Amino acid sequence: MKKNIHPEYKDIKVTCLCGNVMNLKSTSGDLNVELCYKCHPFYTGEQKIVDTANRVKSFTQKSKIAEKMKSEMLKKKEKKESKNINKDKKENNILTLRDMMNALEK
């Protein structure tokens, strides 16, 4: 019969990034984890973003750039439309209320 085929079950330390240390038993060595029950949003009720690859930061930068480009495009479109409206008014001799009031004052 084979003996000692199972790995050794020993005490280990599990250390979280928040500083919490837990003593557990395992067949592996000491562990370092990013989240534990003291800092996980599910248990604390607080929203916390763990961003190890700067994904959130890059997303926010891209979204700011996209918003800026969108606002610039809208401004250009509004300018173009206002030029077209003024051009149409002059071509069709369409008077606005202001133009009519100015004509009465003269």
Q: Model confidence over 18-42: pLDDT tens digits?
A: 899 999 999 999 999 988 888 887 7
Order of strands across the sheet that contains 21-26? 21-26, 10-16, 31-33
Residue 97 Cα distances to 52, 53, 100, angstroms: 61, 59, 5
Q: What's the angle, vertex CA 55, arms to CA 59 and CA 14, rounded to 5?
A: 150
Tokens of 7: 């790995």
pLDDT recorded at residue 103: 82
Express each pLDDT in 72-102 by its tens digit. 999 888 888 777 666 666 666 777 788 888 8
Residue 13 scores a pLDDT above 90: yes
Backbone angles phi, psi at 26, to 5 degrees: -160, 170
Residue whose C-alpha is closest to residue 95's, from 77, 80, 79, 104 = 104
For residues 34 and 50, what is the distance between their CA atoms, to the nearest angstrom?
8
Mean pLDDT, all residues of the chain: 83
Query: What confidence score (pLDDT) does residue 96 get?
Result: 78
